[in-house]
């Protein structure tokens, strides 16, 4: 751009000297020419931004027209306030697929290769601590998504899922997700500058004291002390280590449980879903988190996806092995680890070899 301006300046000066043009006009032209580069750059930058914005609007319009709402007819049932009070889970021949036509959300998938979950049958008693294990892509996280209604089961088996004997295919999805506590693999935070309390209690249902107590429970009282013990201080997730971010996310789940117990007048049962919460932390932090979970959610039914099988032996009652979307083995982890030909035993032996 500067070269182009220089060439134009040379041409103006050459014409002025050859034709004997007015020196004032020539000077004014050169002064104006000095800003030409900035003007052209501004035009190019804004034209590029305009093209990008038009493309974004087009994608949003296409998304809104092609993606159907997740809301379905007859999905407006509001469960009792205390639900789920026990945390029993029953799945019978449940299959699910990500490859469903946007034009026909109830289209059945005939090819077994398209199924993320295949005829999954599980019965989990209240208060049991269950771990889902298997190789990557086996369907562990898909089962968590089905329980949260983020992945719909096929219509032929949508009524085969119950929590506390209530079929939850008709329960309002928002209500379902509010009642089930879930902790994702990657901790989520509000934009930098949001307060500690906003991040810990985004729905503003807890007191400042409850927030401080939760941070103390998850060993983050030192983090709060750096902010003068003020939960309304602005924070950035960048100031937290990977382990601290996961502990903060766990604290959010604990706060939800405590607020629920306060509103119901005492500790009750429920359901806690954990999706690879320890995948980004060291083993010491993992063990700390498992101890906190075991103590804070002792009445809860816990379902956790995990690749770290050494923690399974210490903290969980049952293990469910999933392979290619199918439940291939269930049982007590210690018993399965020593059972000849056990799928879990093979995974346990493989992890031990890798650790040694």
Angstrom distances, CA of residue 277 to CA of 166, 228, 289, 306, 329: 28, 29, 9, 8, 23
In sequence order, the β-bridge partners of residue 90 are: 123, 162
- β-strands 301-305, 271-275: how paired? parallel
Count the Cβ atoms, other than its own, within 10 Å of residue 310.
14
- What is the 8-class DSSP label of residue 228? T
* Dist CA 60 CA 111 (whole Å): 31
Q: Which among 189, 190, 235 has a CA at the least distance from the CA of 224?
A: 235
Quote the percentage of the chain above a pLDDT of 90: 48
* Dist CA 338 CA 344 (whole Å): 9
Q: In 139-152, which positions are buried (b, 16+ CB within 10 angstroms) versus exposed (e)?
A: bbbbbbbbbebebb
Please write the tens of the pLDDT for every residue from 329-352.
999 998 998 888 899 988 888 877
* Dist CA 240 CA 246 (whole Å): 9
Q: Which among 38, 27, 28, 45 has a CA at the least distance from the CA of 5?
A: 38
Residues counted in the chain: 356
Cβ contact 275:144 at 8 Å: yes
Q: What is the SS3 assignment for 89?
A: strand
- What is the CA angle 123-126-127, rounded to 5? 120
* Dist CA 157 CA 119 (whole Å): 9
**Which H or E element spans position 183?**
strand 181-183
The separation between CA 337 and the C-alpha centre of its own chain, rounded to angstroms, equals 31
Residue the block writes with tokens 């007590």: 332
Q: What is the pTM of this model?
A: 0.79
Please write the tens of the pLDDT for every residue from 115-167.
899 999 999 999 999 999 988 888 999 999 999 999 988 877 778 899 999 88
Per-residue pLDDT of the chain (356 residues; tens, 9 = 90+): 667 667 766 676 676 666 666 666 666 676 676 777 777 788 888 999 999 999 999 999 888 888 777 777 777 888 898 899 999 999 999 999 887 543 444 455 444 557 899 999 999 999 999 999 988 888 999 999 999 999 988 877 778 899 999 888 888 999 999 999 999 988 999 998 899 999 999 999 999 999 999 999 999 999 999 988 899 999 999 989 989 999 999 999 999 999 999 998 888 899 999 998 887 788 888 888 989 999 999 999 999 998 778 778 878 999 999 999 999 999 999 899 888 889 998 888 887 775 55
């Amino acid at each position: 751009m500067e070269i182009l301006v220089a060439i134009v300046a040379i041409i103006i000066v050459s014409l002025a000297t050859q034709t004997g043009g007015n020196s004032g006009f020539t000077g004014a032209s050169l002064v104006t020419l000095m800003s030409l580069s900035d003007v052209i750059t501004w035009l190019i930058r804004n034209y590029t931004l305009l093209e990008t914005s038009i493309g974004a609007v087009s994608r949003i319009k296409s998304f809104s027209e092609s993606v159907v709402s997740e809301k379905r007819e007859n999905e407006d049932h509001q469960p009792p306030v205390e639900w789920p009070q026990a945390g029993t889970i029953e799945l019978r021949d449940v299959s699910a697929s990500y490859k469903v036509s946007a034009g026909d959300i109830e289209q059945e998938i005939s090819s077994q290769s398209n199924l993320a979950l295949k005829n999954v049958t599980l019965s989990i008693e209240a208060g049991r601590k269950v771990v889902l294990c298997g190789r990557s892509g086996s369907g562990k996280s898909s089962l968590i998504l089905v329980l949260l209604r983020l992945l719909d089961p096929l219509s032929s088996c949508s009524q085969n899922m119950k929590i506390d004997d209530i079929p939850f295919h008709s329960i309002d999805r928002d209500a379902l997700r509010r009642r089930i506590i879930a902790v994702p693999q990657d901790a989520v935070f509000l934009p930098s500058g949001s307060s500690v309390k906003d991040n810990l209690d985004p729905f503003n249902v807890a007191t400042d004291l409850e927030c401080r107590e939760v941070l103390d429970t998850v060993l983050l009282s030192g983090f709060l002390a750096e902010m003068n013990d003020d939960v309304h201080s602005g924070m950035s997730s960048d100031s937290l280590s990977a382990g601290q971010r996961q502990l903060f996310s766990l604290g959010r789940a604990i706060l939800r449980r405590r607020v629920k117990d306060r509103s119901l007048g005492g500790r009750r049962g429920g359901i806690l879903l954990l999706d690879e919460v320890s995948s980004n932390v060291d083993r010491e932090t993992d063990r700390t988190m498992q101890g906190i979970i075991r103590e804070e959610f002792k009445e809860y039914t816990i379902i956790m996806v995990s690749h770290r099988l050494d923690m399974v032996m210490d903290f969980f009652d049952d293990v469910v092995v999933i392979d290619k979307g199918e439940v291939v083995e269930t049982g007590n982890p210690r018993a399965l680890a020593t059972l000849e030909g056990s799928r879990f035993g093979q995974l346990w032996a493989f992890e031990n070899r890798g650790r040694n």
